[in-house]
Amino acid sequence: MVVILMTMKKIDYYIPLYKNKLYHFYNRGNGTEKIFFKEENYYYFLKQYEKYLSDFIDTFAYCLLPNHFHILGRVKNDNPDIVSETFRKFFISYSMSINVQEKRKGNLFQRGFKRKIIKDEKYFYAAVYYIHSNPVHHGITKDLTQYKFSSYNSLCGNNKTILCRDELMEWFGGKNNFIKYHTEMKSKVFGDDYIIDD
């Protein structure tokens, strides 16, 4: 199976956020700085994300790593400026908390969060896998199913979640196919030249 995850090397911070379109959102700490310093920071990030963005974004997958994050979501609001501004408020809220915790000043995140529009079904499948396997790619874990700060286990479980779990499983043709896809893909995405530079 040939998986095309990204064919453009140019990063665009200004891709419009159109209603009902799917996007891969991602950003990293300023420079190479961490954005998560303690375990509770990951949970706080998700809490603030839900608080600020659950009315604006349907969320399908995410992965939080020490110095960057990935989120796969669909825009629900028809005003792209409001969505961008809400993301900005979310980042400010989280950054202020971390700055107090770490006794630091200045920007926590790189300016202008990045996004890529999901153009087709193949890209959607690949993006979900890419997001969940990112900790393996970065050498944080050898098994993506064991990483605590991605959506993989929430999607496979039955606990209440803000994720669009049922819809995502329909895309994959059920939970068994979802798990099989993650098992069989292994290094295929990371073996080509279509990796997002994160």
pLDDT in tens, the chain (198 residues): 334 344 344 456 678 899 999 999 999 999 889 999 999 999 999 999 999 999 999 999 999 999 999 999 999 999 989 999 999 999 999 999 999 999 999 899 988 789 999 988 888 999 999 999 999 989 999 999 999 999 999 999 999 999 999 999 999 999 999 999 998 876 555 444 445 554
**CA separation for the pair 62, 56 (Å, rounded):** 16
Q: What is the pTM of this model?
A: 0.88
**In 3D, which of 114, 111, 97 has the Cα closest to residue 31?**
111
Q: For the chain, report the end-to-end CA distance as a whole number of angstroms.
A: 24
Question: Which regions of the chain does DSSP assign to beta strands (E)?
Answer: 22-28, 57-65, 68-75, 114-117
Q: Is 56 exposed, middle or buried (0-12, 13-18, 19+ CB in 10 A)?
A: buried
61 DSSP 8-state letter: E
